[in-house]
Amino acid sequence: MIARAEALDAADPLRPLRERFVLDDTVYLDGNSLGALPRSVPGRMAEVVAEEWGRLRIRSWTESGWDSAPERVGDRLAPLLGAAPGQVVVGDSTSVNLFKLLVGAVRLADDARDEILLDAETFPTDRYVAESAARMTGRRLRAVPAADLARAAGPRTAVALVNHVDYRVGELRDLPALTAALREAGALSLWDLCHSAGALPLALDRDGVDLAVGCTYKYLNGGPGAPAFAYVRSAHLPRFDTPLPGWWGHSEPFAMSPEYAPHAGIRRLRVGSPDLLSMAALEAALEAWDGVELAAVRAKSLALTDLFLEAVDALVEPGAVEPLTPAEHARRGSQVSLRHADAAGLLERLVARGVVADHRPPDVLRFGFTPLYTGFTETVRAAATLGALLAGEEER
Ligand SMILES: Cc1ncc(COP(=O)(O)O)c(C=O)c1O
Ligand SMILES: Nc1c(O)cccc1C(=O)C[C@H](N)C(=O)O
């Protein structure tokens, strides 16, 4: 199997992209939590600190383009999301953007639409934010398994908040079909793309997505706590009424007007002063995508996860772990989750052996595959290490 993996690495058209990242001998399969450091980042950060902050100081807001960074970086990201310019803004965290878009969605919808639908298996922050948004707007929050959302949406639904990829088991949801079903029911779609942005091709404009959020520190490699993104379909922008109308979303922030007048475009999603250093790191990190086709990224992602599942099957004692990630390509994100009763303990021992993955309670081991830098040989090595650890379990 190693020989086959080596041949796959040798033939991999994305293999040279690995050089764009700072990596070592560790098998790093946690890019679905924190992406590796792109080589383009450190030099750019040093320059921003020394030149833009150190020398130009306040002048950088205009002379270094700091003032337009949220929408400029948004437009840089937009092609990876399948979005035309002017609909993506970068800033704040995913949680904060979820709040803005969820309350904004309720305000866009008809008053008779008195419920918010929530993907029942959602990442916790989405649920916390949705509970508060529902309370604030006087709407009922109804959690429904993702597979039933299309059927659940009806004349009372204002908006449905859905995760594109389930963070625990790595299941990919049918975004085009569910978006169309929601639209058919007259409801808005709000997609959480944290686990799909940069992992697979997205076509938000073509698929009719209304609203979307996502983070940039996973498959987009923007760095720890990197600013998140928010997408608002251009048709909704004129009526989009943000619940966080900060001065940075004003049409003329420096007019210092006592009245709030939202910017006509996506800038109305901005709130307060952007985190420029993190924004600069993200902007530099996005250079790793220069010339990269997302179709090739998806093809490699599926080849990597296929190989990992096959290697686990071949190299891990039967029954020792249970794959939770769907086998069908159309339902698989860019991670493989395995169930093991002592996932936390197993993870600790994997990390000690140079295989970094992560664990989600109570019993899930997650392995994230980042096609820009993950190789086939190391993928087999990770499965082999897992197999060896499980075979020697009694020796612990
Ligand atoms: C699906 C999903 N949504 C939201 C978040 C939270 O994002 P943030 O910490 O940027 O608010 C995460 C991960 O942290 C996530 O995996
Ligand atoms: N955002 C994270 C963080 O600030 C610290 C540690 C991990 C994370 C993560 O991104 C976890 C991730 N969203 C998950 O899928 O569980």
Per-residue pLDDT of the chain (396 residues; tens, 9 = 90+): 999 999 999 999 999 999 999 999 999 999 999 999 999 999 999 999 999 999 999 999 999 999 999 999 999 999 999 999 999 999 999 999 999 999 999 999 999 999 999 999 999 999 999 999 999 999 999 999 999 999 999 999 999 999 999 999 999 999 999 999 999 999 999 999 999 999 999 999 999 999 999 999 999 999 999 999 999 999 999 999 999 999 999 999 999 999 999 999 999 999 999 999 999 999 999 999 999 999 999 999 999 999 999 999 999 999 999 999 999 999 999 999 999 999 999 999 999 999 999 999 999 999 999 999 999 999 999 999 999 999 985 444
The structure tokens listed for 193 are 């793309």
**Nearest by Cα to 169 from 374, 377, 356, 335:** 335
Atom of ligand 1 nearest to the CA of 95: 11
Would you call the peptide bond into 362 cis, given omega within 30 degrees of 0 as the criterion? yes
Q: Using CA atoms, how far apart are residues 169 and 151, in angstroms rounded to an integer?
A: 23
Q: Is the CB of 123 under 6 A from ligand 1?
A: yes
> Which two tokens mark 148?
């039933």
Q: Which of 160, 169, 226, 177 is nearest to 197 (CA)?
A: 226
217 is a catalytic site residue: yes
Q: Are residues 8 and 118 in the same domain?
A: no
CB 325 within 8 A of CB 170: yes
- Cα 245 to chain centroid distance, Å, stands at 25
Which residue do the tokens 């020989």 mark?
Answer: 3
Phi, psi for residue 256 in degrees, rounded to 5? 55, 40
List b or e across 341-371, with b for residues whose CB sees 16 or more CB atoms inside 10 angstroms. eebeebbebbeebebbbbbbeebbbbbbbbb
Residues 307 and 277 in one domain: no
For residue 366, indicate whether it is catalytic.
yes
Whole-angstrom CA distances from 295 to 37, 163, 289, 376 are 23, 21, 13, 18
The residues pairing with 172 across neighbouring beta strands, listed in sequence order, are: 165
Question: In the prediction, which pLDDT does 392 show?
Answer: 86
Specify the pairing of strand 188-192 against strand 157-163.
parallel
pLDDT attached to residue 295: 98
pLDDT at 396: 45
Q: Which of 259, 289, 319 is the last residue of a domain?
A: 289
Examine the domain organization and report whether 261 and 301 are in the same domain. Answer: no
| Atom number of ligand 1 nearest to Cα 215 | 10
Strands 355-356 and 27-28: parallel
Identify whether 249 is part of a domain. Answer: yes
Give the residue numbers spanning the domain of 54.
Answer: 43-289
Domain C-terminal end among 254, 289, 324: 289
What residues form DSSP beta bridges with 144?
119
Residues 6+ apart with CB under 8 A from 312: 321, 323, 336, 338, 383, 386, 387
The answer to whether residue 106 is domain-embedded is: yes
Contact 150, 181 (CB under 8 A): yes
Same structural domain, 67 and 96: yes
pTM > 0.90:
yes
Count Cα atoms within 13 angstroms, Cβ side, for 258. Answer: 0
Q: Say if residue 142 is in the same domain as residue 270.
A: yes
Task: Tell whether 124 is in a known binding site.
Answer: yes
User: Considering only CA atoms, which residue is closest to atom 13 of ligand 2?
Assistant: 33
Instruction: Note whether residue 238 is domain-resident.
Output: yes
Q: Is the CB of 167 under 6 A from ligand 2?
A: yes
Please tell me whether residues 282 and 305 are part of one structural domain.
Answer: no
CA of 358 to the centre of ligand 2 (A): 10
**Residue 241 annotated in active site:** no
CB of 93 shorter than 6 A to ligand 2: no
Using an 8 Å Cβ cutoff, are 341 and 319 in contact?
A: no
Q: Does one domain contain both 82 and 218?
A: yes
For a ligand 2 pocket test, name from 33, 92, 196, 325 the mutation site with the most ligand atoms within 8 angstroms of its C-beta. Answer: 33
The number of the ligand 1 atom at minimal distance from the alpha carbon of 163 is 1
User: Is 197 within the bounds of a domain?
Assistant: yes
CATH number, residue 257 = 3.40.640.10
Class of residue 200 by CB neighbours under 10 A (exposed 0-12, middle 13-18, buried 19+)? buried
**Domain count for the chain:** 2
Helix (H) or strand (E) holding 157: strand 157-163
pLDDT value of residue 40: 98
Q: Taking each helix axis from N to C terminus, what angle separates 294-315 and 376-391, rounded to the nearest 10 degrees?
A: 30
205 is in an annotated binding site: no
Q: Is the CB of 215 under 6 A from ligand 1?
A: yes
Is residue 179 located within the same domain as residue 264? yes
- Residues 95 and 217 reside in one and the same domain: yes
CA 27 – CA 25 distance, rounded (Å):
6
Task: Examine residue 36 and state whether it is found in any structural domain, yes or no.
Answer: no
pLDDT value, residue 393: 58
Q: How far apart are alpha carbons 196 and 119 in whole angstroms?
A: 16
Residue 348 sits in a domain of what CATH number? 3.90.1150.10
- The answer on 309 and 214 residing in a single domain is no
Strand, coil or helix: what is 63? helix
Statement to judge: residues 143 and 283 lie in one domain = yes
Residues 6+ apart with CB under 8 A from 177: 150
In a domain? residue 38: no
Element housing 248 (H / E): none
Whether residue 69 sits in one domain with residue 11: no
Phi first, then psi, for residue 389 (nearest 5°) are: -65, -45
Contact indicator for 305, 332 with CB cutoff of 8 Å: yes
The letter for the amino acid at 220 is L
Angle between helices 69-81 and 276-285 (to 10 degrees): 30
Determine, yes or no, domain membership for 37. no
Q: How far apart are CA 53 and CA 46, in angstroms?
A: 10
Residue 352 lies in a domain: yes
Please check whether residue 341 is in contact with residue 361, taking contact to mean a CB–CB distance below 8 angstroms. Answer: no
| Final residue before a domain boundary, out of 289, 319, 354 | 289
